[in-house]
Amino acid sequence: MEQRLIAGTDLRVSPLCLGTMLFGSPVQEKEAVKIVHLALEQGVNFIDTANMYEGYTRYVGSPGGVTEEILGKAMGGKREQAVLASKVGMKIGPGTGDEGLSREHIRRECERSLVRLATDWLDLYYMHKPDESTPIAESIETFAELIQAGKVRHWALSNFRAGQVREVLQVCDDGGWPRPVAHQPPYSLLNREIEAELLPLCRDENIAVVPYQILQGGLLSGKYGDPAAPPAGTRGSDKPEWIAMLRDEEALRELDALGARAKEVGLSLFDYAIRTTVNTPGITSIILGVRRVQQLEQAISALS
Ligand SMILES: NC(=O)c1ccc[n+]([C@@H]2O[C@H](COP(=O)([O-])OP(=O)(O)OC[C@H]3O[C@@H](n4cnc5c(N)ncnc54)[C@H](OP(=O)(O)O)[C@@H]3O)[C@@H](O)[C@H]2O)c1
């Protein structure tokens, strides 16, 4: 598999990044281990997780940690092969200190993630979302400390708007702190908002864009022929609230149009979505969530 360099680092990542949010439920540990091993064998070396992930059992304020623990076991003995990313900032407990980007919370959560992942370092550590209640300089300084301590190699942003990214870059430059090297926004053929401002900004600033929800939760896989009757064993039937566009008529019309365009160029909608997204200028690697080994195989084959 091809590798792409994250500018300003020595991190070479596959254009496909393995999303692990479903590890725990519905992806049980045994299947998760198979998925991680297949990914590494096939050169999919970029793995994305977060302290909050625990699959379908997640609710706002649930403790998280399940996915990282499974991933830690799955990577046993193979850690060196992976470019491993985790995140901090979402609510992971009942207390007011159990979320956000304060110094205490970042330090505590980084330690917990390292223990669960059974590793001494994270290659990439994301601010999962902006935290209005903490001065951004405090958060950036804490990430810089983690880098200095060797616990984190580089840091990154997720879910920050273009204006917020500009502010972060200014604060980094003013404080002499390392800049974020990557940004993880939502992006798919059904949600192209970042093309207006964020993507050009990241291109100009040499920030790698690593989008999530590139299949819009599975909608762009082509399996929702009748969105009103999602096939059994899919997110559309198990967790429909996680695919809001299943009930959005405009999005469903766009989905039909994309299906027709894919057919015109002789591709399945799944292959068309994967290839178009991964080849968008400025995109370094696309994160894909998979429920089973076969879905990862299909994505690898779509890219080859
Ligand atoms: N930074 C953030 O705030 C944020 C937020 C959300 C996610 N993420 C990251 O992005 C990753 C992906 O997110 P996501 O899972 O919500 O979105 P996604 O990648 O757009 O959708 C994944 C779903 O697509 C379906 N799929 C994948 N391959 C398929 C195939 N070959 N054939 C048919 N269906 C296929 C599966 O649905 P079924 O389950 O129906 O089989 C799978 O669960 C997460 O694991 C996480 O790492 C980050």
Span 179-209, pLDDT tens digits: 999 999 999 999 999 999 999 999 999 999 9
Q: Is 217 in the pocket of ligand 1 (CB under 6 A)?
A: yes
pTM above the 0.85 mark? yes
Q: Which of 53, 125, 126, 212 is catalytic?
A: 53
Q: How many domains does the chain have?
A: 1
pLDDT classification of 227: cutoffs 50, 70, 90: confident
Q: Is 293 among the domain residues?
A: yes
Query: pLDDT band at residue 140, thresholds of 50, 70 and 90?
Result: very high
CB atoms within 10 A of CB 110: 22
Q: Which residue minimizes the CA distance to atom 24 of ligand 1?
A: 218
Contacts of 114 by beta carbon, 8 Å cutoff, 6+ apart: 120, 121, 122, 151
Among protein residues, the one whose CA lies closest to atom 12 of ligand 1:
289
DSSP character at residue 177: P
Q: Which residues of 122-140 are buried (b: 16+ CB within 10 A; e: fewer)?
A: bbbbbbbbbbeebebeebb
Q: Give pLDDT, residue 203.
A: 98
Residue 242 in any domain: the answer is no
143 within 8 A of 164, measured Cβ to Cβ? no
Specify the residue with its C-alpha closest to ligand 1, atom 30.
295
Q: How confident is the model at residue 33 (pLDDT cuts 50, 70, 90)?
A: very high
Q: Each residue of 94-139: pLDDT tens digit? A: 998 999 999 999 999 999 999 999 999 999 999 999 999 999 999 9
Q: Region 10-20: what's the mean pLDDT?
A: 98
Residue 278 lies in a domain: yes
Quote the ligand 1 centre to 149 CA distance (angstroms). Answer: 33
- CB of residue 86 inside a 6 A radius of ligand 1: no
Residue 236 in any domain: the answer is: no
Best probe residue, ligand 1, of 16, 92, 221 (max atoms within 8 Å of C-beta): 221
Question: Would 298 be classed as within a structural domain?
Answer: yes
CA-based radius of gyration for the chain: 19
Active site residue 53: yes
Distance CA 108, CA 92 (A): 12
Residue nearest to atom 33 of ligand 1 (CA): 221
- Mean pLDDT value across the chain: 97
Of the candidates 83, 153, 159, 166, the one whose C-alpha atom is nearest the C-alpha of residue 125 is 153
Closest-CA residue, ligand 1 atom 41, reads 234
The stretch 47-71 carries a mean pLDDT of 96
Of 53, 183, 212, the residue with max ligand 1 atoms within 8 A of its CB, to mutate for a pocket test, comes to: 212
DSSP 18-52: EE-TTBTTTB-HHHHHHHHHHHHHTT--EEE--TT
> Domain of 82: which CATH number?
3.20.20.100
**Which residues have C-beta within 8 Å of that of residue 50, sequence separation ≥ 6?**
21, 64, 67, 68, 86, 87, 88, 90, 126, 128
Pocket test for ligand 1, best of 49, 216, 288, 300 (most atoms within 8 A of CB): 288
Q: Examine residue 177 and state whether it is found in any structural domain, yes or no.
A: yes
Atom of ligand 1 nearest to the CA of 129: 3
Is 277 close to ligand 1, i.e. is its CB under 6 Å away? no
Q: What is the pLDDT of residue 126?
A: 99
Can you tell me which atom of ligand 1 is nearest the CA of 87?
A: 1
- Please list the alpha-helical segments (H only) found in the chain: 29-41, 66-74, 103-116, 136-148, 162-175, 198-204, 235-238, 249-264, 269-278, 293-303
Residue 237: its pLDDT value, please?
95
Domain assignment of residue 223, yes or no: no
User: 170 Cβ partners below 8 Å, 6+ apart?
Assistant: none
How confident is the model over 157-183, as a mean pLDDT? 98
For 39, list phi and psi in degrees, rounded to 5: -55, -50
* Nearest ligand 1 atom, CA 20: 45
Q: Residue 150: its pLDDT value, please?
A: 98
Full residue range of the structural domain in which residue 93 is found: 4-218+269-303
18, β-bridge pairs: 47, 288
**Which stretches of 149-287 are DSSP H helices?**
162-175, 198-204, 235-238, 249-264, 269-278
Tokens of 270: 């799944």
Which region, left, alpha or beta, applies to residue 56 given φ > 0 means left and ψ of -120 to 50 means alpha? alpha
Domain-embedded: residue 26: yes
